[in-house]
Structures are given as C-alpha cells and as structure tokens.
C-alpha cells in the first residue's frame, strides 16, 4: 500500500512488514503526545487496535509504533521508518510527526480511514520501507465559503479532517458575504439575528428562473468557533477568518442600515441578498463604519489566533460612492484622487489597525489597486497577474487563480455536470497547475507563501455538492501544494491516476461523495438547472 497521496519526496522499499496486533504498543515522545492521542483514536476506531501506551521507545518491541521529534528535521518534515524494530515516525515538530502519522494511516490501507471496524479478521500491516518527506509550500490552503450556503459545524469539522488527510494546513474560513453573516458578534447581535438568514435562495446561476423558497441560514456561536479552531489546531491546521469589507456586505447592511450609503439609497429597505453576483450595496466610508468593524475585528481576534486576518476587499463597485455626497466629501477631506484610492484608504486603515495588534492583513488582489501597505499580503485570484505584481513589489502572496483552482468550476464539458460553472478544470488540469509564475526571480518567488484551492458555494446547496466539486480534484491540488513536482508538462499524471485508484478507496471509507472518474452518478446531476459554463481554454496569466 505505497500508493501515497500526496507523493513523498523519497521512498526506499524494504523486505517484510510490521504487523500491528492487539499486543502492539505506541510510544509518543515529548511534544508528540497529541499526535499519539490522534493516531491511537483513529486506529482504535478503524481497526479495533488498542495500541496500549509504551513508556519507552524500546518497549514497542518490533510490532509497535514510536513517535518522536528530531531537531535535525525541518518543522513540517518527517521521516518514517518501518522495519524489524517496528514503525518509527520522526518529525522536526509535532506537525511533522502528524503528517508522518497521516502517511502511516495511508500505508495501512483504505479501511484505516473508517470510523468503526468492519467486523472481519484482517491483517494490519505496514511494509518495511523508509520515507523521507517535507512540503514544498508552508501555505497549503482550502477556502470554504459558508456564507452563500451555510455548512453546519459538524460539516466544517469533517472538512478539517479531510484537509488533514491530504496534508493541507490552512483553512480559509469565508464567514461573511451579501448572502449571509455566519459568526456571532456579541457587541452587534443583529449581524446574526438578521444577517444570518435569507428568505429564499436562487437555485442555479443568477440567470436561472428557479428558486428555493425555503428560508436559508445559520451561524456559528463563538463557542462553535473556538471548537473549530481547537479542532483544527489539533490537526496542525491554521484557521484564517475572512470578514469582507467594504464590498460583499449587504447582509451586514441589512442588519445595521447605517453601515450603508444612506444618502443615496434607502438601506432600511434592504434584506439579506437572495441571489448571486456582484452586489452594488457597499459599506459607507464613515468613521461610524470603521468603529463598527473595529469592534467586529476585536471579537474576531479573540477567537482566531492566526497571524493573518482576511478582509476580502474584492468586487467593490464604486457607483454608490460616486453618487454619495458623504463619500465625495471624505475623498476631498483625505486628499484622495478617486474612489479607488478611497478603497485603498479603507484597506490601509485596517492594515494599520491589525498591525498594531500583532496581526497581518491579507486580502484579494483588488487591494493592490490604489496602493497597498508594506506588511499586507495578497490572495491572487484573478489569474497570476495580481500575485506577480505583488511579489515584485515585495508583498507576500498566496496563489489561487480562479481559472485553475476554483473548484466551483466544472470538471467536465459533458451535459451531465451539475449546474456547470466556469471553465472545464479536470483532475489532470488541477494536477498540472503551477503556483509560482515562471517570470518571477528567485527573490520574488520567495514571496509566494503557497497556494490555495477555493470552494465558492453559490450552487452547492449541501455538503454532498461540496464533496462533488472538491473531490477528487482536491487530492491533485494537495499533491501540487506538498510535493516537489516537475514542470507541469513533465508531470506523470498516469502515475497519479494509478495512485488515485487506491485513494478512491480511502475517500469511500471517509464517506466523500466525490465525482467518479467515469462521470456523475444519477443523483449527483442537476438536470434543467441553469449554470454559467465558459467555453475554451482558460487564460494562463
């Protein structure tokens, strides 16, 4: 069972195997106790193996598991040795040991990913081998949009497990948008009392005539958020929250109308938006708005210990600001050239505010327009251009170009794809994605923190639809983010497909409703629901 995903850097095969039995023991050295608890738990659930505690490494006696730190390894680097003395997983930190434990779980076979034993006798064996492995990027991310369609807490915890199984380590949590506000802010309770619920939902693309007339919504309490963050931390995943400003804010304005441009629109008549697209209702650039969101971010910082806080910053139409006497007066007062610089002022305010509290701002690549503060980072989504410009200007970048790693884009050009959106991005297309633009110098490329796949949920009404869009492509993306692959055209996709044949068994054991290689199952289709397919090859820029 060496069909590993993502592919490790080096594997040396041996002869023989380590058999885990009811008598096998597990020793977790200093600072690896949490990994030991996780591994003991999942193998007890899946295999019924008690893995009793060994006080010393030599008590594992040839058929057990040892976990320990090796300061000579990098922070996320690990070494797994399976041989006559048992299985030893060493890492430069607990994170490295955890990624090695994930590899060990894969080596035990697909059934090691189940939540209860199958009730039949079987051998749990790890082949003798040595694996040396480390990630290519420090930021290996997945963005999940829970604003358009709410995913209950249990679904989020499940996705953290799926991320961990693929060695992804950054969970970008898109918590607010026009269609819903999903995080409890105690100082401003109407954000969830009003902003977390919409009366109905567009079914399909915004041009679709179909509606789901059931109210839709939900939110995470602050204790839910604490649980999610702690659960992620146990799996060595950082949660980066996103609170969108100044666009994508109709849900907040519906809850607190004074946040909008009241001098040009009756914001008291607004409700949480029920359709998709770019919304014209943006935040007013007033001191009241700044103070309100500072209070929001104060509570957010108390819940999320992450270095980065995402402020959105994308798709902010300027029409209301152009027509607003108050916005125009603010432009004149600040000596700004235009509305683009007004948005830059808005972003810079929160960059300064976050830096004063020891955090860093990250936003979508529109925040480059009008100038960007030195410490801010960029999520490059409109192709590579924004990320390239940011890296050349000395800003850190996360590469997530829409045309390549937006997993809401359709997986095939056939008529059975459910609600087809965007370009065709096959499993092979994602496998050949290269996060670092070739035109960057080595110094500029060092600003590429990593890469991220984004799951926008406008047309994903439940967890099964999210599964369908994310998998199996997220497995290919995980290999791109972790493994030191050759240039896109030189990558061995046939070998990846061979390893995926085994990996589908793991996804089955994990209960993932992925898209089968031969096409969607009948219940995965959405006949008659209008999408927005784009023909042709996406631009590679």
* Active-site amino acid positions: 177, 248, 315
Whole-angstrom Cα distance, residue 64 to residue 30?
Answer: 17
Place of tokens 């919504």: 217
Three-state DSSP string of 441-463:
CHHHHCCEEEEEEEECCCCCCCH
Query: What interhelical angle do 339-355 and 287-303 show, nearest 10?
Result: 40
For the record, the structure tokens of 238 come out as 């950082």
Q: What ranges make up the beta strands (E) of 3-100?
A: 10-20, 25-28, 52-53, 65-69, 78-83, 86-91
Q: Which two tokens stand for residue 374?
A: 């030195």
**HSE-up of residue 303 (Cα within 13 Å, Cβ side):** 25
First to last CA, the chain: 39
SS3 538: coil
Structure tokens at 303: 């819940």
Whether residue 96 contacts residue 234, with contact meaning beta carbons closer than 8 Å, is answered with no
CA-closest candidate to residue 57, choices 90, 27, 20:
27
DSSP state of 180: E
For residue 125, report the phi and psi dihedrals to the nearest 5 degrees. -130, 145
């Amino acid at each position: 069972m060496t069909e590993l995903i993502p592919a490790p850097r080096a594997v040396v095969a041996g002869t023989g195997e380590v058999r885990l039995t009811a008598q096998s023991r597990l020793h977790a050295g200093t600072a690896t106790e949490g990994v030991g608890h996780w591994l003991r738990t999942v193998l007890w659930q899946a295999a019924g193996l008690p893995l009793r505690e060994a006080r010393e490494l030599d008590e594992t006696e040839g058929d057990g598991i040892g976990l320990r730190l090796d300061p000579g390894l990098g922070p996320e680097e690990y070494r797994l040795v399976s041989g006559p003395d048992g299985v030893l997983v060493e890492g430069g930190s607990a994170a490295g040991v955890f990624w090695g434990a994930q590899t060990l779980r894969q080596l035990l076979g697909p059934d090691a990913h189940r939540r209860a034993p199958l009730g039949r006798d079987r051998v749990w064996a790890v082949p003798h081998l040595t694996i040396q492995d480390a990630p290519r990027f420090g930021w290996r991310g997945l963005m999940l949009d829970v604003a358009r369609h709410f995913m209950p807490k249990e679904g989020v915890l499940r996705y953290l497990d799926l991320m961990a199984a693929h060695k992804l380590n950054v969970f970008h949590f898109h918590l607010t948008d026009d269609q819903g506000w999903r995080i409890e802010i105690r100082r401003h309770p109407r954000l969830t009392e009003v902003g977390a619920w919409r009366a109905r939902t567009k079914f399909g693309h915004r041009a679709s005539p179909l509606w789901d007339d059931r109210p839709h919504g939900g939110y995470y309490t602050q204790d839910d958020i604490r649980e999610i963050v702690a659960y992620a931390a146990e799996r060595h995943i950082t949660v980066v929250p996103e609170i969108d400003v100044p666009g994508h804010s109709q849900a907040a304005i519906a809850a607190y109308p004074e946040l909008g441009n009241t001098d040009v629109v009756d914001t008291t008549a607004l409700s949480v938006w029920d359709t998709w697209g770019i919304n014209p209702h943006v935040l007013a650039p007033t001191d009241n708005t700044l103070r309100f969101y500072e209070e929001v971010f104060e509570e957010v910082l108390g819940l999320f210990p992450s270095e980065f806080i995402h402020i959105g910053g994308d798709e902010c139409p300027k029409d209301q600001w152009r027509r607003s006497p108050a916005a125009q007066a603010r432009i004149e007062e600040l000596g700004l050239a235009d509305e683009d610089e007004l948005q830059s002022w808005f972003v810079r305010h929160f960059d300064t505010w976050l830096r004063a509290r020891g955090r860093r701002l990250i936003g979508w690549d529109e925040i480059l327009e009008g100038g960007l503060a030195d410490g801010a980072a960029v999520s490059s989504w409109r192709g590579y251009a924004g990320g390239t410009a940011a890296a050349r200007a000395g800003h850190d970048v996360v590469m997530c170009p829409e045309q390549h790693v937006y997993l809401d884009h359709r997986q095939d050009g056939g008529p059975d794809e459910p609600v087809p959106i965007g370009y065709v991005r096959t499993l092979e297309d994602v496998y050949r994605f290269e996060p670092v633009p070739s035109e960057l110098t080595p110094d500029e490329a060092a600003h590429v923190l990593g890469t991220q796949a984004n799951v926008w949920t406008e047309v994903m009404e439940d967890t099964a639809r999210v599964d369908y869009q994310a998998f199996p492509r997220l497995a290919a993306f995980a290999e791109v983010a972790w493994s030191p692959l050759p240039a896109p055209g030189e990558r061995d996709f046939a070998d990846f497909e061979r390893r995926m044949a085994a990996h589908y068994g793991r996804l089955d054991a994990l209960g993932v409703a992925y898209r089968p290689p031969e096409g969607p199952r009948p219940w995965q289709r959405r006949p008659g629901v209008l999408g927005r397919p784009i023909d042709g090859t996406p631009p590679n820029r």
